[in-house]
Structure 1
Amino acid sequence: MARITAGIGCSHIPVLGFAHDHKRTQEPIFAPAFAGFDWTREWEKAEKPDVVILVYNDHASAFDMKIIPTFAIGCGERYAPADEGFGPRPVPEVIGHPVLAWHIAQSLVLDEFDMTIINEMTVDHGLTVPMTMMFGDVDAWPVKVIPLAVNVVTYPPPSGNRCWALGEAIARAVESFPEDLNVQVWGTGGMSHQLQGPRAGLINREWDTAFLDRLSGDSDALRHIPHIEYLRETGSEGIEMVMWLIMRGALGQATRELHRHYHVPASNTALGHIVLEPVEQAA
């Protein structure tokens, strides 16, 4: 039986991809951001996950205003890095796991989630930057990836409660897959940031820290945060944090924090990172 063994939350700040690709990770402006992932890179080498279900949002690379799926799952065999205006990032091609992806897609649809199924697409920094932060400079990614794209760019984004419930449904799908696989679920995006308007540059360390605190333990209070609170407290782009709730929902009732990293500022946003493991509950 496949099993979800861990969850990771991670910002997908594009400038970190730039710093990595241009060999600037040790410069004073970037070094503190990258240092917080040293622990995770070593941990991943020991964990050796087979598949990562990577929850992210597309930034007008695979989707645009013509097509805006709320939830889209990649069922293809491979995904090339997207050209986001300066050419594709010089990182490895992402290799999918179509058998597990199709199983999850079928399970989610039968579980009453109306998924958009994608067989061909490119993947942008929302997906490739977290891969870089977790695995560093490699010739090939050491895991297969199932991309799960969420609309948090255009109104209306899904609620935190719906995202948490999707995570729970993903857990049911993975647990019903007969092959023995070590699966991780990553939620990316965030943390607090606003990219435009009078509040551009907004960072709310106190709110971010409270959000990270509540990801561990057995409370599901995070699923009930309304959109207006994300907007008010974390800026217009802080809504990306609902994608972390898909990861958290997939881990079950209770979790334990293994590692945390928080750094500001990284570009004009807060950088957040957390590693969680599910905790078995006594019967």
Structure 2
Amino acid sequence: MARVVLGVGASHSTLMNTHWDKVVHRADAERFRDALGEAREAIAAARPDVAVIIGSNHFRGFWLDLIPAFTLGVGEVIASGESGTPSGPQRTDPPFAQALAERLVEAGTEVAISARLQIDHGQTHAIQYLLDGLDVPVVPLVVNVFAAPLPRLDRCAELGANLAAALGAMPGDTRVAVIASGGLSHQLPWPADWRDPQGADEEFMVEAWLNGRGDWQRYDAHRREIITAARPVIFDEFDRRFLADLEAGRLRDYLALSTAELGERSGNGGQELRTWLTMAAALGFAPGRSLAYAPMPEWLTGMGAAVIEPEPA
């Protein structure tokens, strides 16, 4: 049977690629970067045959005309390449991904599928740093974390548990690394609800989210201006508690939070923690190990990295 051999959670930010020269908190930035390298070494040591990357999509592959709660890339995977992240077709394993989609449905989660999935830095930041130099095919699992209504946190955990069950039902001895990309806390200059934009910038964002399919580059420069001009909002205490709870195997406690409660505690960008909870559930909420935490106002985000090893059978 296929099995999960390692879980990894890591924050992402394209500002890490484009604004390194503007970093003031250099020691914090280098500590997080080194933690990504440590996580990459842990993945290499686990010798995965495939990496399932659970991440968000920042309206470069999904749009308000169609945005499922959960989508599995089962064929071609194309990276958008924004802000120095990987670009173009990525290495995949379509037979494995298609079999996984079928097993997920049998396990109880009806994921949408895409045979030509465009991903952005919500997935490719992990490919760039965590899989650097590793010849491992990827299976993207995209979770809707920005376009309300969002999937409940307990449904994300159910997805993670069913992912482990689906792998366990697959033949062969495929070794799988499960990577969660996103978070920790941050506040993006995006509308709290796309149905009620406030001001010209939020109206522009909603227009881009609705009309960007096949034309997202037309909106990207002004989107970037709005984001880089934003005031940093990081919930440092929440982030440290979240990582402590990951180490103690207590992330299951977060499943009772509503979308509104998670947003109040960690910002609208903290909704990406759905990816971490999905990954942790695939590891049975086993205790993990925090590698680093760095509140980075220059990157607008609390940057964290952690690993979870499966408990012995």
Task: Give the TM bin, normalised by the shorter chain.
Answer: 0.7 to 0.9
Report if aligned partners of 1:193, 1:236 keep a CA contact under 8 Å in 2.
Answer: yes
Report if aligned partners of 2:158, 2:281 keep a CA contact under 8 Å in 1.
Answer: yes
Identical-residue share of aligned pairs (%): 29
Report if aligned partners of 1:103, 1:173 keep a CA contact under 8 Å in 2.
Answer: no
Q: 1:143 corresponds to which letter in structure 2?
A: V
1:12 aligned residue: 12
Q: 2:127 aligns with which of 131, 134, 156?
A: 131
1:63 aligned residue: 62
Q: Please give the alpha-carbon distance, in whole angstroms, between the structure 2 residues aligned to 1:113 and 1:148.
A: 12
Q: Structure 2 regions of 5+ residues with no counterpart?
A: 193-229
Q: 1:112 Cα shift?
A: 3.3
1:103 aligned residue: 99
Q: Please give the alpha-carbon distance, in whole angstroms, between the structure 1 residues aligned to 2:122 and 2:159.
A: 19
* 2:287 counterpart SS class: strand
Report if aligned partners of 2:39, 2:306 keep a CA contact under 8 Å in 1.
Answer: no
* 2:59 counterpart SS class: coil
TM-score of the two chains, using structure 2 as the length reference: 0.79
* 1:72 counterpart SS class: strand
Q: 1:215 corresponds to which letter in structure 2?
A: L
1:71-126 CA-to-partner distances (Å, cap 9, x unmatched) read 000001x4222154x6x745574211222211221122233322111000222111
TM-score of the two chains, using structure 1 as the length reference: 0.86
2:44 aligned residue: 45
1:264 aligned residue: 295
* 2:179 counterpart SS class: strand
Q: Structure 1 regions of 5+ residues with no counterpart?
A: none
Q: 1:40 corresponds to which letter in structure 2?
A: A
Q: 1:133 Cα shift?
A: 2.1
Q: Please give the alpha-carbon distance, in whole angstroms, between the structure 1 residues aligned to 2:131 and 2:86.
A: 14
* 1:158 counterpart SS class: coil
Q: Please give the alpha-carbon distance, in whole angstroms, between the structure 2 residues aligned to 1:95 and 1:79.
A: 8
Q: Please give the alpha-carbon distance, in whole angstroms, between the structure 2 residues aligned to 1:243 and 1:129.
A: 14
Report if aligned partners of 1:16, 1:129 keep a CA contact under 8 Å in 2.
Answer: no
Report if aligned partners of 1:100, 1:177 keep a CA contact under 8 Å in 2.
Answer: no
Q: Please give the alpha-carbon distance, in whole angstroms, between the structure 1 residues aligned to 2:236 and 2:9.
A: 16
Q: Please give the alpha-carbon distance, in whole angstroms, between the structure 2 residues aligned to 1:237 and 1:150.
A: 13
Report if aligned partners of 2:86, 2:127 keep a CA contact under 8 Å in 1.
Answer: no
* 1:79 counterpart SS class: strand
* Mapping 1:31-180, distance limit 5 Å: 31-76=30-75, 78-84=76-82, 89-90=85-86, 93-136=89-132, 138=133, 141-180=134-173
Query: Which has more helix, going by share of residues?
Result: 2
User: Within the alignment, does 1:248 sit opposite 2:246 as a pair?
Assistant: no
Q: 1:158 corresponds to which letter in structure 2?
A: P
Q: 1:15 Cα shift?
A: 1.7
Q: Please give the alpha-carbon distance, in whole angstroms, between the structure 2 residues aligned to 1:2 and 1:16.
A: 34
1:183 aligned residue: 176
Q: Please give the alpha-carbon distance, in whole angstroms, between the structure 1 residues aligned to 2:112 and 2:48.
A: 26
Which structure 1 residue ranges, 4+ long, deviate > 3 Å from structure 2? 17-20, 27-30, 88-93, 197-200, 216-219
Aligned residues: 271
Q: Please give the alpha-carbon distance, in whole angstroms, between the structure 1 residues aligned to 2:249 and 2:187.
A: 30
